[in-house]
């Protein structure tokens, strides 16, 4: 699922796939791989949050985007 979604703009689906995989790996005892997947999900979530919180001001024609 992760490979299929990688080339798409479906960020929410990508986040969910990494989250589910990470949790599954943790349950199986694969701590490092599980944490890496959860970190990837968090990173994608941060990108999605920054994107959705950006706004465009028509008055001064500038974009306000908080990426970091």
Contact predicate 54/66, CB 8 Å:
yes
For the chain, what is the domain count?
1
Let me know if residue 48 belongs to a domain: yes
* Cβ burial, residue 23 (10 Å; 0-12/13-18/19+): middle
Residue 10 has a pLDDT of: 79
Distances (CA, A) of 56 to 45, 47, 49, 51: 21, 17, 15, 11
Mean pLDDT, contiguous 10-residue spans, the chain (68 residues): 66 91 98 97 82 52 48
Q: What is the pLDDT of residue 7?
A: 62
Quick one: pLDDT at residue 60?
45
Q: Has residue 45 been placed in a domain?
A: yes
Instruction: Domain of residue 30: give its range.
Output: 2-52
């Amino acid at each position: 699922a992760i490979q299929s979604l990688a080339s798409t703009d479906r960020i929410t689906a990508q986040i969910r796939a990494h989250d589910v995989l990470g949790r599954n790996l943790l349950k199986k005892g694969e701590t490092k791989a599980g944490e890496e997947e959860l970190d990837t999900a968090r990173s994608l979530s941060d990108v999605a949050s920054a994107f959705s919180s950006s706004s465009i001001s028509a008055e001064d024609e500038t974009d306000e985007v908080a990426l970091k």
